[in-house]
Amino acid sequence: MTEQTAQIVIAGGGLAASLAALRLAPAARVLLIDQRADPLAGHTWSFHSGDIDAAQRAWLAPAIRRAWDGQDVRFPGRTRTLRSGYACLDADSLGAALADVPGVTRLTARVASIDAGGVTLADGTRIGAELAIDAHGFAPHPAIQVRSQKFLGQELRLTAPHGLTRPVIMDATVPQMDGYRFFYLLPFDDTRLLVEATYYSDGAALSADDQRAGIADYVASQGWQIAGVIREEIGVLPIALRFDADAFWRSVPRDVPTIGLRAMRFHPLTGYSLPHAVRGADLIARHWRQGPLALARALRRDSLADAKAQGFYRLLSRMLFEAAAPDERRRVMDRFYLLPEPLIERFYAGQSTLADKARILTGRPPVPVRRALRCLPESFKVNPA
C-alpha cells in the first residue's frame, strides 16, 4: 500500500467541496479527490441574493459568473418582476476562482473509504490527513423520502438579442406535462442565454432528445433563433418529502465531518444546495482546527437544527407531490407567486416566519382540503440501511 499525506482531504470535488476549499485556502492546504476528472463541468449553480449574508457574498464573489438585480416569474395571464437579486456560478467561474487560490490541489481517483485519519483510494493508496471530510454528493438513504426536480439546459448563442435583462426563474406559460413543467432562463449577455426545461415530476426519467426538441420549440415560440449550442447540463435533484434527520445522522460516522448533499443539506422544495454549501464552508473554517470530532459535531448540530426548521418546506413538497395531482401543480405555484415579495425571499432562504407559514397555507386552498390534510403527518417508518 502506498502512503501520502495531506492537511485537509475532501472526498468529492463538487460544489460543497470546492466552496469549502475556496473558503479555507490558503490558510489551510486542501486536497480535493473526485472520481471524475472535471467534477464541476456541466453545472450552473444559482442562488437568490437573500440566501447568503454579506460576509458570505464577499468570499464567494470571485466564483460568481453573473449577478442580476431582479428576476421574473411568468404564469398564464401574468408576469411578475421580483426585485430580489439573483446570481450564478458555473464550472468555469468556480474553477477559475479556485485556480487563483494557492493551496488547493485536485486528484482524480475513486475513494473507497473515509475515516477520521484520512481516505483510502480504490487502488489501495492511503492518504492520511489532519482532517478528512466527506462531500460525496447525494445518495439515497432510508431516512429520507424524495421525489425529483429534473431538467435539461442548453446554453445558447442566439442570432439576435433576446431582449431579457433579468433571469426568468419560472416561465410556466408552457403546456403542462410530466408534472409541473416550466422553462428557466438566464441571460448571460445580449445573445447568450441558458434555457432549461424543468419538471417537478413523480418519476426521474428524462429523455434528452425530447427536452432538446422542447427547448427548440420554446425558443422558436419566443421569436428567437439559435446560432449555436455552447454546452448542455442535465440534472435530477432530490426534493424532500419526509426526512428523519435523527435516524440519518445515527448512520453517519461521528468523527467524519460530512457536508453538501451527502449530509442531505438542500432546500427541501427547490433542491438548491448552494446556500447550505456556503454555510458548511463557514462552519469548517470556524471549527477545523479543533479536529474531526469537534467539526463533525458542529456540522451535525447545525444540520439537525436546520432539518427541524425545514419541516415546513417538506410539508409543502408533500402538498405539491401528494395532495396536488400532476396537472394541479402549476396552480399551487401560481398561487404562491401572488404572495408578498419579502415572504417569497424568506421562503427561498429557508427562513419563513410563523406568519409567513400561516399565510402560505391559508386562503382558498389550491388543492382539495381532504387531500391536503392527508399529507400533514411527516412520520414514516425508516427501515435500516
Ligand X SMILES: Cc1cc2nc3c(=O)[nH]c(=O)nc-3n(C[C@H](O)[C@H](O)[C@H](O)COP(=O)(O)OP(=O)(O)OC[C@H]3O[C@@H](n4cnc5c(N)ncnc54)[C@H](O)[C@@H]3O)c2cc1C
Residue among 57, 284, 18 nearest 137 (CA):
18
- Per CB under 6 A, 14 contacts ligand X: yes
Dig out the grid coordinates for 276 from the structure: 447550505
Q: Which is nearer to ligand X, 43 or 371 (CB)?
A: 43
Question: Which of 103, 142, 235, 291 touches ligand X (CB under 6 A)?
Answer: 235
Torsion of CA 337, 194, 199, 281, to 10 degrees: -80
At residue 254, the 3 state secondary structure works out as coil
Q: What is the DSSP string of 319-379?
A: IIIIIS-GGGHHHHHHHHTTS-HHHHHHHHTT---HHHHHHHH-SS-SS-HHHHHHT----
In whole angstroms, what is the distance from residue 237 CA to residue 328 CA?
A: 21
Number of other residues whose CB lies within 10 A of the CB of residue 261: 22
Asked if residue 230 lies in contact with residue 155, where contact means CB atoms within 8 angstroms, the answer is yes
- With 0-12 / 13-18 / 19 or more C-beta atoms within 10 angstroms meaning exposed / middle / buried, residue 101 is middle
Question: Which of 135, 252, 316, 367 touches ligand X (CB under 6 A)?
Answer: 135
Question: Which of 187, 271, 292, 366 touches ligand X (CB under 6 A)?
Answer: 271
Question: Which of 38, 81, 96, 110 touches ligand X (CB under 6 A)?
Answer: 110
Question: Which of 111, 129, 185, 195 touches ligand X (CB under 6 A)?
Answer: 111
- Per CB under 6 A, 238 contacts ligand X: no
Q: Which is nearer to ligand X, 261 or 332 (CB)?
A: 261
Query: Minimum CB separation from ligand X for residue 326, in Å?
Result: 22
- Per CB under 6 A, 230 contacts ligand X: no
**Positive or negative: CA dihedral 332, 337, 341, 344:** positive
Q: Which is nearer to ligand X, 35 or 125 (CB)?
A: 35
Q: Which is nearer to ligand X, 2 or 383 (CB)?
A: 2
- Per CB under 6 A, 173 contacts ligand X: no
Q: Which is nearer to ligand X, 300 or 371 (CB)?
A: 300
Q: Which is nearer to ligand X, 33 or 73 (CB)?
A: 33
Q: Would you give the end-to-end CA distance of the chain in angstroms?
A: 31
In whole angstroms, what is the distance from residue 275 CA to residue 345 CA?
A: 13
Asked if residue 262 lies in contact with residue 139, where contact means CB atoms within 8 angstroms, the answer is yes
In whole angstroms, what is the distance from residue 73 CA to residue 183 CA?
A: 10
Q: Which is nearer to ligand X, 136 or 147 (CB)?
A: 136
- Per CB under 6 A, 145 contacts ligand X: no
**Of the listed pieces 52-60, 132-140, 293-301, 326-334, which binds ligand X according to CB under 6 A?**
132-140
- Per CB under 6 A, 280 contacts ligand X: no
Query: Minimum CB separation from ligand X for residue 67, in Å?
Result: 13
Question: Which of 6, 9, 16, 170 touches ligand X (CB under 6 A)?
Answer: 16
Query: Minimum CB separation from ligand X for residue 288, in Å?
Result: 17
Map grid coordinates 424543468 to a residue: 198
- Per CB under 6 A, 329 contacts ligand X: no
- Per CB under 6 A, 136 contacts ligand X: yes
- Per CB under 6 A, 170 contacts ligand X: no
- Per CB under 6 A, 141 contacts ligand X: no
Asked if residue 285 lies in contact with residue 24, where contact means CB atoms within 8 angstroms, the answer is yes
Residues whose CB falls within 8 Å of the CB of residue 348, separated by 6 or more in sequence, listed in order: 48, 50, 51, 84, 267, 270, 272
Q: Which is nearer to ligand X, 17 or 252 (CB)?
A: 17
- Per CB under 6 A, 260 contacts ligand X: yes
Binding site for ligand X (CB under 6 A): 11-17, 33-36, 39, 42-47, 110-111, 135-137, 233, 235, 237, 260-262, 271-274
